[in-house]
């Protein structure tokens, strides 16, 4: 081997602040990343296995706890899968309430992500700003559902709680709040030179790679692929809305597929979600919220059901799919969940190629795996085999220094 | 164990996720941000267990994370307090019958404070950290009355 220094850099898995914590093995020449390998599996809880020992209604709450940020998306997709398998009709009012909850979740998730991304770049003031803005929607979710996270709203054939007359002015207040604050968010994230300088042409995922790797959600839309379940296969109340997938060319007129484009897509989707919530609130139909209010009867009906069902939903991170097979048993015979991050994992490989070590945090954060799994990095010098451990803080420090350097 | 004077300072916290769903973890980050802002009490998240006074543990402990949980517990210098945040770390919660879960946390390391909830509320976590602080003060040899007096001083 030549004398040029090549490093092997395993990252993680300690401090697995992702839903799916994992180890990254980087090969590095100087400051450039040559190759990346992923080793997931540190957060395996065997949820699908547990689901096979529980009845359908119990699984809703298990599905909710697959991920604490997507705690409306998984039950949404699961309920749709069971309804599909058992042929249950959901009342229109319930469909609208489901969409309102799902879109409020998207607002909180995207603002959360924006704050984390700013944190990885060293702008903690922006982290605090965006999380302050996020608390408004958390309050609203608490008022509607009773909990800040893990809402417990979804039920087979509808939702568990109605939106009352008294709650509607409070929801409108939140809508107005986000319409006011949106321009500020756009200024901070899209017009700020220091964010642009660190994110433009960083972590590029080309249109072809996005298609080839079947990435989903904002990750793929930022590469120009107009893929959105709400647009491609409208379901629930989305069918009444004309939703168009948001790609970065709406804002800038071009698609680069870099981290900056992913910020654009998420910031624009916040506004889109606010508009969807407003539409649903204005057109909220009257009527029942559950097709079968008695849970014992519902379970007895499901015990007689036989068949397969698929539920798809556009979660904040992309398409989530649940598959259920019912076979006249109390428990489902098969339950399979596929979260969007699973699809997006492999897009890290082309994104990280030829990037600098200091860009690892923002590129990893850019597909929104909740928080980067950046606790610990070991740099091994291939000649001396000396190990140098970088903590998450040190790695972030490198990232901050790079921002300062580029702004000079 | 009687402690020296060096604990007379703010608590630094290390957060360890042992297979949690992210719900509690996000609430812990929410603690640091303007609404709850625990840094005004000097409570700070640190990047290494070696700097920490308090271990904040979330998640039901799966097989792959168990050796890391023990390692991080050993790496945290004494005196330390361990807080378990969330129902799944306290009792297993919804994950109680999984083949890959070896928790709850107190089966493997001593735990001082439990903050139940799925996820625990930020106010609850602040209260848990306060309880951990009381434990550390008691280790210092202060009586219950003196500790309460100290809390009044802090509040004032």
Query: Rg of chain A's alpha carbons, rounded to an integer?
Result: 22
In a domain, B131, yes or no: yes
Q: Average pLDDT in the B2-17 region?
A: 68
Contact of A142 with chain B, judged by CB distance below 8 Å, is answered with: no
Between CA A73 and CA B108 the distance in angstroms is 33
Between CA A63 and CA A66 the distance in angstroms is 5
Contact of A17 with chain B, judged by CB distance below 8 Å, is answered with: yes
Spatial contact of B85 and B45, defined as CB atoms under 8 Å apart: no
- Chain segment A290-302, per-residue pLDDT in tens: 888 888 998 898 8
Same domain, A350 and A335: no
Q: Which token pair is B63?
A: 């097989």
- Given a cut of 60, is residue B75 above it in pLDDT? yes
In a domain, A295, yes or no: yes
CATH number at residue A373: 3.30.390
Same domain, A355 and A278: no
The separation between CA A193 and the C-alpha centre of its own chain, rounded to angstroms, equals 26
Which residues of chain A does B19 touch, with a Cβ-Cβ cutoff of 8 Å?
Answer: 16, 42-45
Last residue within a domain, chosen from A340, A356, A391 = A340
Same domain, A349 and A207: no
DSSP strand pairing (B113-115 vs B81-85): parallel
Q: Is A353 exposed, middle or buried (0-12, 13-18, 19+ CB in 10 A)?
A: middle
Between CA A323 and CA A80 the distance in angstroms is 9
Contact of A71 with chain B, judged by CB distance below 8 Å, is answered with: yes
- Chain segment B22-65, per-residue pLDDT in tens: 888 888 888 888 888 888 877 888 878 888 888 889 888 888 78
How far off is chain B from A149, nearest CA to CA, in Å? 6
In a domain, B45, yes or no: yes
Angle between helices A124-145 and B23-32 (to 10 degrees): 120
A370 and B17 within 8 Å at the Cβ level: the answer is no
Same domain, A368 and A258: no
CATH number at residue A156: 1.10.645.10
Same domain, A197 and A302: yes
Please name the residue of chain B whose CA is at the shortest distance from the CA of residue A59: B94
Enter the ipTM.
Answer: 0.83
In a domain, A48, yes or no: no
CA distances from A224 to A96, A190, A209, A255, A270 (A): 29, 18, 11, 6, 18
Question: Which residue carries 């903050």 as its tokens?
Answer: B115
Q: Give residue B108's region: left, alpha or beta (phi > 0; psi -120 to 50).
A: alpha
Using DSSP, state whether B26 is helix, strand or coil.
Answer: helix
In a domain, A1, yes or no: no
Same domain, A236 and A322: yes
- Chain segment A156-207, per-residue pLDDT in tens: 988 999 998 999 999 999 999 999 999 988 888 888 888 888 888 888 888 9
In a domain, A50, yes or no: no
Instruction: Find the domain containing B59 and state its range.
Output: 8-155
Between CA A318 and CA A109 the distance in angstroms is 12
Which residues of chain B does A335 touch, with a Cβ-Cβ cutoff of 8 Å?
Answer: none
Same domain, A301 and A382: no
A391 and B47 within 8 Å at the Cβ level: the answer is yes
**DSSP states of B80-144:** -EEEEESHHHHH-GGGTT-TTB---GGGTS--SEEE-STTPPHHHHHHHHHHHHHHHHHHTT--H
Q: Average pLDDT in the A302-310 region?
A: 89
* Residue among B127, B96, B93 nearest B113 (CA): B127
Between CA A80 and CA A86 the distance in angstroms is 10
Last residue within a domain, chosen from A340, A356, A371 = A340
Same domain, A333 and A375: no
Question: Which residue carries 């919220």 as its tokens?
Answer: A289
- Chain segment A50-102, per-residue pLDDT in tens: 888 888 898 998 888 888 888 888 899 999 999 999 888 999 999 999 999 99
In a domain, B2, yes or no: no
Same domain, A257 and A300: yes
In a domain, B3, yes or no: no
Using DSSP, state whether B101 is helix, strand or coil.
Answer: strand
Same domain, A318 and A235: yes
- Given a cut of 60, is residue A18 above it in pLDDT? no
In a domain, B139, yes or no: yes
In a domain, B1, yes or no: no
In a domain, A93, yes or no: yes
CA distances from A155 to A32, B10, B85 (A): 49, 45, 27
Same domain, A382 and A285: no
Question: Which residue carries 């890391």 as its tokens?
Answer: B68
Between CA A39 and CA A15 the distance in angstroms is 15
* Residue among A142, A147, A150, A148 nearest A171 (CA): A142
Cβ atoms within 10 Å of A170's Cβ, excluding its own: 13
The total number of structural domains in chain A stands at 2
The total number of structural domains in chain B stands at 1
How far off is chain A from B145, nearest CA to CA, in Å? 36
CATH number at residue B149: 3.40.50.12280
Spatial contact of A352 and A33, defined as CB atoms under 8 Å apart: yes
Same domain, A365 and A271: no
- Residue A8 contacts by C-beta under 8 Å, 6 or more apart in sequence? A25, A26, A27, A28, A380, A382
Instruction: Find the domain containing A308 and state its range.
Output: 56-340
Q: What pLDDT score does A45 carry?
A: 78
Between CA A66 and CA A50 the distance in angstroms is 12
Please name the residue of chain A whose CA is at the shortest distance from the CA of residue B59: A43
């Amino acid at each position: 081997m030549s004398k040029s220094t090549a490093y092997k850099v395993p990252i993680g898995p300690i401090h697995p602040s992702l839903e799916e914590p994992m180890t990254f093995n980087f090969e590095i020449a100087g400051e450039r990343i040559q190759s990346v390998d992923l080793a997931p599996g540190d957060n395996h809880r065997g949820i699908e296995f547990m689901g096979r020992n529980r009845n359908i209604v119990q699984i809703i709450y298990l599905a909710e706890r697959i991920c604490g940020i997507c705690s409306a998306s998984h039950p949404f997709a699961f309920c749709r899968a069971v309804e599909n398998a058992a042929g249950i009709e959901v009342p229109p009012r319930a469909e609208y309430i489901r969409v309102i909850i799902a879109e409020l979740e998207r607002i909180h998730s995207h603002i959360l992500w924006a704050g984390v991304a700013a944190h990885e770049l060293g702008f903690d003031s922006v982290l605090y700003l965006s999380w302050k803005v996020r608390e408004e929607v958390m309050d609203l979710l608490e008022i509607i559902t009773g909990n800040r996270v893990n809402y417990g709203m979804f039920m087979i054939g509808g939702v568990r709680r109605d939106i009352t007359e008294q709650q509607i002015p409070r929801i409108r207040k939140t809508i107005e709040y986000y319409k006011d604050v949106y321009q500020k968010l756009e200024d901070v994230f899209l017009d700020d030179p220091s964010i642009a300088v660190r994110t433009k042409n960083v972590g590029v995922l080309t249109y072809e790679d996005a298609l080839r790797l079947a990435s989903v959600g904002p990750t793929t839309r930022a590469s120009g692929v107009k893929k959105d379940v709400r647009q491609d296969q409208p379901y629930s109340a989305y069918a009444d809305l004309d939703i168009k997938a948001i790609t970065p060319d709406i804002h800038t007129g071009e698609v680069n597929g870099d981290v900056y484009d992913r910020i654009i897509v998420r910031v624009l989707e916040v506004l889109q979600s606010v508009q969807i919530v407003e539409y649903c609130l204005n057109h909220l139909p009257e009527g029942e919220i559950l097709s079968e209010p008695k849970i014992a009867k519902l379970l007895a009906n499901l015990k007689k059901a036989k068949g397969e069902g698929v539920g798809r939903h556009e979660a904040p991170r992309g398409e989530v799919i649940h598959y259920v097979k019912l076979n006249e048993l109390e428990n489902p015979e098969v339950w399979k969940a596929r979260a969007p991050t699973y699809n997006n994992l492999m897009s890290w490989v082309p994104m990280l190629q030829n990037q600098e070590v200091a860009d690892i945090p923002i590129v990893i954060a850019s597909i929104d795996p909740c928080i980067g799994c950046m606790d610990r990095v070991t740099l091994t010098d291939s000649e001396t085999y000396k190990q140098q451990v970088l903590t998450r803080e040190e790695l972030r420090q490198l990232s901050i220094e790079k921002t300062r350097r580029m702004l000079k | 164990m009687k402690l020296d004077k060096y604990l007379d300072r703010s608590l630094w916290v290390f957060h360890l996720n042992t297979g949690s769903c992210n719900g509690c973890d996000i609430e812990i980050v929410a603690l640091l941000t303007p609404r709850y802002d625990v840094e005004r009490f000097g409570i700070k998240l640190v990047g290494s267990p070696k700097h920490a006074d308090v271990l904040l543990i979330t998640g039901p402990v799966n097989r792959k994370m168990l050796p890391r949980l023990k390692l991080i517990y050993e790496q945290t210098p004494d005196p330390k307090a361990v807080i378990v945040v969330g129902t799944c770390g306290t009792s297993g919660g919804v994950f109680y019958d999984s083949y890959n879960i070896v928790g709850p946390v107190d089966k493997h390391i001593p735990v001082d404070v439990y903050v139940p909830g799925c996820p625990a509320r930020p106010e609850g976590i602040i209260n848990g950290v306060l309880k951990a602080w009381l434990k550390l003060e008691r280790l210092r040899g202060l009586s219950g009355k003196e500790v309460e007096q100290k809390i009044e001083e802090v509040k004032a």
